Structure 1
Amino acid sequence: MLGTGPVAEARRTLVSAADSGEFRAAFARAVAGTGEVFLGNPAWSAAEREECARLPLAPTEATKAQLGLGWLMIPTGGSSGRLKFARHDSYTIVAAVQGFSTHFGLARVNALGLLPLHHVSGFMAWMRCAVTGGEFRPASWKAIEAGERPALPAQADGWVVSLVPTQLERLLREPAAVEWLRSFRIVFLGGAPAWPDLLDRAAEARVPLALSYGMTETAAMVAALRPEEFARGERSAGGVMPHARVELGDDGVICISGRSVFRGYYPDWRHERTMFATADVGRFDAARRLHVLGRRDAVIISGGEKVQPLEVEAVLKSATGCARVAVIGVPDREWGERVVALFAAGEGFDVARARVAAQRELSAPQRPKDYLALADWPLSEAGKLNRPQLRARAEAQLRAGAGRGSA
C-alpha cells in the first residue's frame, strides 16, 4: 500500500503542479519516502503557500502516522477562507475505490481526467485507475470544449469521465460533443447542483449520466445513481455505496461513517468510528436513494420562512437556460434576510422570464427581491462556486444601489 511504512522523522512534502504528468511523478516520489504528503493548488497565492508552510508538523512520537494513517493531506479549503486539509491514507483511498468499483460493477476503471489532480475529484479519478490497474488519460477541458476530443481505445470495462454541470451544459449544445459523450460507459456529474432542465436534456440525448454525492472528507463518492437508473427517470444522488454508511441527523443533516471517511482536519485527528456530520441536508426516498437538498449553512430565513437556495436556483436555471445562477441571502431590516438572485453577465439570463417563473413556481418567501448581473463569476478549478467571493461582490453591488425593486 502507499505510504504505510513507519515515519522516522517529521517531514513534509508538498505536491503542487499544474501539469498532470509532473504532478503524478512528484506524487510517486513523495509516497515512496516517509512523512506527510500535502496536495497543493498550483494557483495558490503567496499568502496561501505561506499559510501551508506554517502548519505545525505532526509529532513523530506516538502518532497514528507511525502506523501509516492520515499521512495524505487533501485540500478542502483555500481561496474562500482558512486553508484546511483532510487527512487520508492508503486505507481510506483504497476503501473508496473498492466501494466505487463494486457499486458500478467495474473490474478496472479507465478514466479520462479533466479535473485538477490536487482536487479530490481529479485525484480519485486517477486513484481508481491506479488501484484497479486501469488506464488514466489526462485531458484539457479547453481542448475538449474547442472540439479536440480524444478517440479512446476500446476497453472491456469502457471509459468514464467526470464533469461539472457547466461543462455538461456546453457540451450538450453541440451534436458532435453529445455523440462523444455517448461513447463513455459512465459520465459522472458533480461538483455543483444540476438543474432539472439540464438533466432532462441529458436524458433526452441518451448521455449515460450518473449523479453522485461525496466530498473531500469521504474520498469522493459515497452515493451514486447508476446510468440505467438515470435513464429510467431517477434524479437523486442514488444509493449509498457499500463502503459507506449514511444517516440523517437532526433537521435532515447528512451524517457519514465508513472506511473511506477522513482521519481528521490536519493537524488534528478524529475517532474513526464516529459519524461525520456534513454541512448538507437531505432525505431518503422509499427506495433508500439519497436526495441532497442543500447546505445547512446556506438556508435563508426570510420573513420567518426557510428558503433553500437550491430550489430557487433550479427554477431560475430551467426558466432561463443560464447555467451560472446562484441565490443568496443578505441582511435586511424588513425580512431578516433578503433573497437575492445572481447571474453571470453575458450568458443570456432573461430577468423578465425569471420573474415570471418565480411568480408561477415559487412561494412568496422564495421569490428573489433582487437580480444582479456579475461580470466575473467566481469559480474554483473544479467548477465549484466560490460563495464567499460571490456574496462579497453582491453586497458591494447592493450598497451601490444595483438590483433594487426587481422582485
Structure 2
Amino acid sequence: MQIAESDPRRFMQAFAHACGGAGEVFLCNPDWGAFERNQVDALLRSAPADAKANPELGWLMIPTGGTSGRVRFARHDAETISAAVRGFTRHFELAQVNAVGLLPLYHVSGFMAWMRCALTGGEYRALDWKAIERGERPVLPTKTHGWVISLVPTQLERLLRDADATEWLRGFRIIFLGGAAAWPQLLDKAAVARLPLSPGYGMTETAAMIAGLRPAEFLAGARSNGAPLPHVQVSLSDDGNIFVGGGSVFRGYFPEWREADESFATSDGGYFDESGQLHVTGRRDAVIITGGEKVDPVEVEAALRGTGEFLDVIVVGVPDAEWGQRVIAVYPASSQPRIDAVSAALARLLTPSKRPKQFVAIPHWPANAQGKVNRAEASRAAMEELKRS
C-alpha cells in the first residue's frame, strides 16, 4: 500500500488503515513528479515475491535519498520505531512527548515526531510553516512535560529575525535542530536569545535522531551534535567514517535486506571529543577535490552564511578541465548578495582553494515548504545556468 498524503489528518487515517492490513506500506511524497514516480514504479516492479520468515519485520518503507537524485525506501517496522522512541525519551528525560509538527509526515523527521507523541501518550499538533512565518503562532496549552519542536537551520534563522517569534520559541522545552549543518553565527545568535536548542544528528536509516545535544549543554557553550542516544552504538572507522548499530537501524533498502547484526556505514564523517560528544563534519561523498585539495562544502557554506549576505546557498563542485573540479556557490536569483563584500570576507576566512570561483544564481530555488533544499536539483539547475553563460 502506498500513502501519499500531505494533509496530516488524512495521512494519519491512511496510516492507521494500512497498519490494520497485511503487506508493505510505502510512505510517498505527494509532490513527487514523474522522475521520482518512475523510480518508485521501477523499484516495485523489480521486487521479487518476498516470502518473509517474519512478516512483522521491515514492512514500513520510509523514503530516503531523494535529494541525491535517487529515491530509495528504508525498511522499518514497529521494533525499529519503538527502539528509536525509547532511546529519545531516555536521553532527553521525557516521560511524555508533546510536539509541534512542521515537517510532513511522510518524511522521517515528521513521522518520528508524531510517533514519539503517539507512543508516549502525548499530543501532536501539526502546524503550517508558512503560517508560523507569517506570525500565526498559537498559544500552546500548558503541559507537564512541556512542548518540543523541530526546525531546520533556515527556519530558525528566519524566526530569530522576529522578536515575537523568538519569544514564542523560548516557550518550548526543547527546540531540535537538524536537517542540515547549522553555521556558527546562527548557533551563537540562538544562545544569546537563550533558546533551548538541541542540535542533533540522525537519518532515515536510523529512524531519525541518534545523537543530540541537550539544551542545558548548548546554553553552557557546547557546540557538538551531542552524545549518542542510549539505543544505538555509534563508532568511527580509522578514517573517521560514522558507523551505527542498534535497535532502530533499518532492515535494508527495499527490496533488499541487511544482516541484523551488521553496523550501518553512513556517508558521514565525524569525531568524538574528550567528553564523548559527537561532532559530525559532513558527508564524505560530498567532498570536492579541486587541484588535489579537498574542500568540504559544509565548511564553505557556513562561511558564506556567516557573511550575512545569504539565507539560502549551497556549495558544489563542477567539472573543470584544469582543476578537476571547480568550487561554485549556488543561490536563488531572488537574493541580492553583495558578491564583492562576500569575496572580501571569504579572503579572510578561507584558503584560496576553498573560495568559490563562481557565484551562480538560479531562477527557481528547489526547497520544500520547510526550507530544506534539494541539493541535486539545485546543482543541476546551476549546471544549466553555466551552460547558458
**1:197 positional shift:** 1.0
2:159 maps to which residue? 171
2:359 maps to which residue? 371
1:59 maps to which residue? 49
Q: Out of 86, 89, 110, which is 1:98 matched to?
A: 86
**1:399 positional shift:** 2.4
**5+ long unaligned stretches in structure 2:** none
2:324 maps to which residue? 336
Larger mean Cα displacement after TM superposition, 127-136 or 249-258: 249-258
**5+ long unaligned stretches in structure 1:** 1-12, 402-407
Q: Give CA-to-partner distance per residue, 1:220-246, whole Å, 9 cap, x none.
A: 000000111111111111100000111
Describe the SS at the equivalent of 2:118: helix
Instruction: Kindly tell me the number of residue pairs found equivalent between the two proteins.
Output: 387
Q: Out of 28, 31, 36, which is 2:24 matched to?
A: 36
Q: Tell me whether 1:198 sits opposite 2:186 in the alignment.
A: yes
Equivalent position amino acid for 2:383 in 1: E
Query: CA RMSD, aligned part only?
Result: 1.5
Note if contact 1:320-1:350 (Cα within 8 Å) is conserved in structure 2: no
Note if contact 1:178-1:205 (Cα within 8 Å) is conserved in structure 2: yes
Equivalent residues in 2 for 1:384-403, closer than 5 Å: 384-401=372-389
Q: Tell me whether 1:180 sits opposite 2:168 in the alignment.
A: yes
1:6 maps to which residue? none
Q: Percent identity?
A: 56
Q: Out of 74, 87, 95, which is 2:62 matched to?
A: 74
Q: Give CA-to-partner distance per residue, 1:321-365, whole Å, 9 cap, x none.
A: 422111111111221111111222333422122111211111121
- Distance change >3 Å, CA 79–CA 230, structure 1 → 2: closer
Q: Give CA-to-partner distance per residue, 1:283-327, whole Å, 9 cap, x none.
A: 111111111111111101111111111111111111124221111
Q: Out of 148, 165, 189, which is 1:160 matched to?
A: 148
Q: Tell me whether 1:221 sits opposite 2:187 in the alignment.
A: no
Equivalent position amino acid for 1:327 in 2: V
Describe the SS at the equivalent of 2:131: helix
**1:82 positional shift:** 2.7
TM-score by length of 1: 0.92
1:297 maps to which residue? 285
Equivalent position amino acid for 2:49 in 1: P
**1:47 positional shift:** 5.0
1:10 maps to which residue? none
Note if contact 1:116-1:381 (Cα within 8 Å) is conserved in structure 2: no
TM-score by length of 2: 0.96
- Distance change >3 Å, CA 346–CA 375, structure 1 → 2: same
**1:260 positional shift:** 0.2
Q: Tell me whether 1:26 sits opposite 2:26 in the alignment.
A: no
Note if contact 1:330-1:337 (Cα within 8 Å) is conserved in structure 2: yes
Note if contact 2:65-2:71 (Cα within 8 Å) is conserved in structure 1: yes
Describe the SS at the equivalent of 1:320: coil
2:247 maps to which residue? 259
Q: Tell me whether 1:89 sits opposite 2:77 in the alignment.
A: yes
Q: Give CA-to-partner distance per residue, 1:249-271, whole Å, 9 cap, x none.
A: 24211111110000000010001
- Distance change >3 Å, CA 182–CA 18, structure 1 → 2: same
Structure 1 runs of 4+ with >6 Å offset = none
Q: Give CA-to-partner distance per residue, 1:104-142, whole Å, 9 cap, x none.
A: 000000001110000000000000000111110111111
2:198 maps to which residue? 210
Equivalent position amino acid for 1:267 in 2: P
Equivalent position amino acid for 1:210 in 2: S
Equivalent residues in 2 for 1:126-165, closer than 5 Å: 126-165=114-153
Note if contact 2:155-2:370 (Cα within 8 Å) is conserved in structure 1: no
**1:81 positional shift:** 2.5
Equivalent residues in 2 for 1:311-330, closer than 5 Å: 311-330=299-318
Equivalent position amino acid for 2:57 in 1: L
1:8 maps to which residue? none
Cα distance in structure 1, aligned partners of 2:53 and 2:247: 16
- Distance change >3 Å, CA 235–CA 19, structure 1 → 2: same
Equivalent position amino acid for 1:59 in 2: A
Cα distance in structure 2, aligned partners of 1:363 and 1:162: 34
Cα distance in structure 2, aligned partners of 1:171 and 1:352: 28
